[in-house]
Structure 1
């Protein structure tokens, strides 16, 4: 009997090791914050259906830990009280807050915001022109966003990657440093969620401007199998 128990334990070792190294499946789902109200094909109800279509075990959300716990009113990220909090309550997802708590929150954002103010003061005409470009870009994107897949596809990612490349060229090194630092923290949380949930599906809910950055870095992240978001949505909003 002792011999059989030893053999059974020996056979179980490779299976246990395999379970520990099974990568998490990660999918990044762009959200539009208050623009869900003005993009009919990706309104709050459709966002909710998209999240459920992706069958998450784990959610990574674009909130500070304190806001995730307290659920205060959201002026900008209106999808949280409207859709995401009810889904968390209904499905009991494991949830990770991607934004840092203070004092790191302020330490990351203060220089980034200060550089934006300095740019507007230093180059007011250029800042106005950049604002007009951004308004026009979003007008075109909103007209093109005829499904959740379109919000999450490579064309949207390319357009928003170009927006940030232009901002970095115009606004100087501090723009890039701040953008990279903020997104880098989001990425750290997603990677931790993947490590702590091997073999499970992690859905990352993040504003559309961050989607291209996270997807680009997660493709090479260890312990992660990144899904193609439009394919994972499987025609939602067009059927």
Structure 2
């Protein structure tokens, strides 16, 4: 009996050490971050990345934490969205039946208005100028999206380097044409997202964080998260292989 008691005690101690080591290992690992680009209302126009496919992709990425492109008050109210239709159609229903830690990425007032004000003012002044650049930039934007829609055969393509490169070029041209307010507003808005994501990574080591954000932000966030300490940025396009995104 004493032998059995000793063996049982040793096993218990070893299992205890294993459990502590496992927990410590999880805490010491950086969070994995996946930037998942969304298409807002355009999900209805891209069959390979429909609203239903977006739902499948989020579920199959198995997030522990969701960082969402909404304000905290809108998230709490599950408010309707005219543009970001993925929230009422996909993400809010997932939250109702999932078990995710949820983080709102957009700033609350008055920071919300303070960040956007120079951006809005610069764009209003640019549109009011009525110059040839206004029509040219609109035509360029339309052509960019027309070309991208032919490229977006699936969720992986929406999140690949080709898409990021095209939208990086689009924003470089917009900033050159519209000026400092456009550049400042875009930079500050994305920097706020970056700060929120980095804090979420610090708060949830060893867990997977999925960031749902409009496709135009993808190139900026991926570039800066790749340089950030304390987290591991995963390759979204590689994760979204056809095998992964097939319905269960």
TM exceeds 0.5?
Answer: yes
| Equivalent position of 1:141 in the other structure | 148
Tell me: CA distance 1:16–1:150, structure 2 relative to 1, closer, same or farther (3 Å). Answer: closer
Gapped regions of structure 1 (runs ≥ 5): 1-7
Greater Cα radius of gyration, structure 1 or 2: 2
Aligned-partner Cα distance in 1 for 2:56–2:18 = 42
Q: Are 1:187 and 2:194 an aligned pair?
A: yes
| Equivalent position of 2:208 in the other structure | 201
Aligned-partner Cα distance in 2 for 1:10–1:229 = 35
Aligned-partner Cα distance in 1 for 2:17–2:101 = 33
TM-score (norm 2): 0.88
| Equivalent position of 1:83 in the other structure | 90
Secondary structure of 2:62's match? coil
| Equivalent position of 2:225 in the other structure | 218
| Equivalent position of 2:59 in the other structure | 52
Query: What's the RMSD between the two structures over aligned residues?
Result: 2.3
Gapped regions of structure 2 (runs ≥ 5): 1-13
Secondary structure of 1:95's match? strand
Aligned-partner Cα distance in 2 for 1:138–1:184 = 25
| Equivalent position of 1:124 in the other structure | 131
Aligned-partner Cα distance in 1 for 2:151–2:103 = 31
1:199 CA displacement: 0.1
Give CA-to-partner distance per residue, 1:60-119, whole Å, 9 cap, x none.
Answer: 000000000001111111111111011112112100000001000000011111000111
Deviates more, 1:31-40 or 1:164-173: 164-173
1:123 CA displacement: 4.8
Q: 2:47 aligns with which of 31, 40, 53?
A: 40
Give CA-to-partner distance per residue, 1:158-206, whole Å, 9 cap, x none.
Answer: 0000000111111112221111000000111111110000000000000
C-alpha contact 1:61 1:205 (8 A) present in aligned 2: yes
